[in-house]
């Protein structure tokens, strides 16, 4: 764990006063169930021990002063609780700002301002949800500091709303939910249509979760993401003319095959096929895990990647290379892209004694093909966002 005392002394030096409380919010990795959340399907993510820390003190006035050790060059960013508008030059601080604004719009009173220093050890732009981690962190700070007594699920929903409306990214609820509701050693099976969820203990005896970062520079992720969303919405509209459903996640594979011709557009039909099959695959994977059938779980992870590559078309040469190299490496149970795609990270389940070889051989071959090296993180599963002291 990161040394919080360092953060506290940075706070005292910067704001010339002592901090009052410390918070932590994890990053997340999704094991299976990709691009299903906004299609009313199931996801199976978990919260990580890497994440975002915050040290906080309240002020007597209306000012909010925030600083991030990850963006030191931007200095202290200041805004007032009376003027909560998106400002481009406020950069990363628009995330906490959006959360404060959303809380206020739901009638929660934030009586005074505060100072915060943030520090995150989630690699930036890796697709492990550093932004959702920051949002749920801000929501939890408000909840605890001003005794708002809000349930975590409601904090999660407001953070998603902040991302949708204030930031303008039309994300589903998976990231904020995994981060807020995470549980040590467990993945969460979440039905995004009903928000019913259950925890599954990950019995990975002899295996670990290894995240591979393609290190691809972030490109058109947000616009492509929104495009996939509307392609699925269009497909749903068409299916609704022949079948009474509210989301693609309600269909079995067989039901989809019976109605798919009404979609018309072959691209949109492929997108909808992924959403339906991936949702069913997620349920099968969780069942396999419960039955201690890690082999099958891994195979389903691989099929998930293939569907994201061929039908949903959100992978790209970097993710495909990293995953295909993993498939041919000894000791790998399964490997797939994780998160929104187009870059970012892969998730693999790898046998303990094979991890060193996994990292070394894949790094060399990936560099040969792509031109630069990937990074690897062996991760553990943590509890959700919380006050540390
Ligand atoms: C991003 C979004 C999530 C989800 C994934 C894809 O991480 O924020 O809501 O849609 O992509 O599964």
Per-residue pLDDT of the chain (389 residues; tens, 9 = 90+): 678 999 999 999 999 999 999 999 999 999 999 999 999 999 999 999 999 999 999 999 999 999 999 999 999 999 999 999 999 999 999 999 999 999 999 999 999 999 999 999 998 778 899 999 999 999 999 999 999 999 999 999 999 999 999 999 899 999 999 999 999 999 999 999 999 999 999 989 999 999 999 999 876 567 899 999 999 999 999 999 999 999 999 999 999 999 999 999 999 999 999 999 999 999 999 999 999 999 999 999 999 999 999 999 999 999 999 999 999 999 999 999 999 999 999 999 999 999 999 999 999 999 999 999 999 999 999 999 999 99
CATH number of 4-201+383-388: 3.30.230.10
Count helices and strands in the chain by DSSP H and E runs:
11, 13
Distance CA 128, CA 213 (A): 10
Closest Cα to atom 1, ligand 1: which residue? 340
> What are the φ and ψ backbone dihedral angles of 60, each rounded to 5 degrees?
-90, -15
List 61, 175, 205, 234, catalytic entry: 175
For 165, which DSSP code? I
Distance CA 46, CA 178 (A): 6
Establish whether 175 is a catalytic residue: yes
Distance CA 165, CA 342 (A): 23
Distance CA 377, CA 357 (A): 14
Distance CA 338, CA 301 (A): 10
Contact 34 CB / ligand 1 (< 6 Å): yes
Domain assignments of the chain as residue spans, ordered by start: 4-201+383-388
Residue-wise DSSP of 176-201: HHHHHH--TTEEEEEETTTTEEEEEE
Contact 300 CB / ligand 1 (< 6 Å): no
Contact 38 CB / ligand 1 (< 6 Å): yes
Distance 339 CA to ligand 1 centre (A): 5
Tokens for 28, please give them. 């997340």
Distance CA 339, CA 127 (A): 6
Exposed e or buried b per residue across 171-196, where buried means at least 16 C-beta atoms within 10 angstroms of its C-beta: bbbbbbbbbbbbbeebbbbbbbbeee
Tokens for 247, please give them. 């989301």
Q: Are 151 and 139 in contact (CB under 8 A)?
A: no
Contact 35 CB / ligand 1 (< 6 Å): yes
From edge to edge, which strands make up the β-sheet containing 386-387? Answer: 77-80, 63-68, 114-120, 45-58, 21-30, 386-387
Any alpha helices (H) in 61-210, and if so which ranges?
94-105, 130-145, 152-161, 174-181
Tokens for 361, please give them. 């051989």
């Amino acid at each position: 764990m990161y040394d919080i005392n360092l953060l506290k002394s940075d706070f005292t030096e910067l704001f010339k006063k002592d901090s009052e409380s410390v918070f932590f919010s994890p990053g997340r990795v999704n094991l299976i169930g990709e691009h299903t959340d906004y299609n009313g399907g199931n996801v199976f993510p978990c919260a990580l021990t890497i994440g975002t820390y915050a040290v906080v003190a309240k002020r007597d006035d209306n000012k909010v002063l925030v600083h991030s050790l990850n963006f030191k060059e931007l200095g202290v960013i200041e805004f007032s609780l009376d003027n909560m508008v998106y400002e481009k030059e406020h950069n990363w601080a628009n995330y906490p700002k959006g959360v404060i604004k959303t809380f206020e719009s739901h009638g929660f009173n934030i009586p005074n301002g505060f100072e915060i220093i943030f520090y995150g050890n989630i690699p930036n732009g890796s697709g492990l949800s550093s932004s959702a981690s920051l949002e749920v962190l801000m929501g939890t700070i408000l909840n605890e500091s001003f005794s708002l007594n809000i349930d975590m699920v409601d904090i999660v929903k407001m953070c998603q709303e902040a991302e949708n409306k204030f930031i303008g990214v039309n994300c589903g609820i998976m990231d904020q939910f995994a981060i807020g509701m995470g549980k040590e050693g467990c993945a969460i099976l979440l039905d995004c249509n009903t928000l019913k969820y259950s925890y599954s203990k990950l019995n990975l005896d002899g295996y670990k979760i290894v995240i591979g970062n393609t290190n691809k520079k972030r490109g058109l992720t947000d616009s492509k993401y929104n495009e996939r969303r509307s392609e699925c919405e269009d497909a749903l509209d068409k299916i609704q003319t022949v079948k009474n459903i509210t989301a693609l996640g309600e269909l079995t594979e067989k039901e989809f095959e019976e109605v798919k011709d009404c979609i018309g557009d072959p691209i949109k039909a492929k997108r909808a096929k992924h959403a339906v099959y991936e949702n069913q695959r997620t349920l099968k994977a969780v069942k396999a895990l419960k039955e201690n059938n890690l082999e099958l779980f891994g195979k389903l992870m691989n099929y998930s990647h293939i569907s994201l590559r061929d039908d949903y078309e959100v992978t790209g040469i970097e993710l495909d290379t990293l995953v295909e190299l993993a498939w041919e490496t000894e000791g790998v149970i399964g490997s797939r892209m994780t998160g929104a795609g187009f870059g970012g990270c892969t998730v693999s389940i790898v046998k303990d004694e094979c991890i060193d070889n996994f990292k070394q051989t894949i790094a060399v071959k990936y560099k040969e093909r792509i031109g630069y090296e990937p990074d690897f993180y062996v991760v553990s599963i943590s509890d959700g966002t919380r006050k540390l002291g």
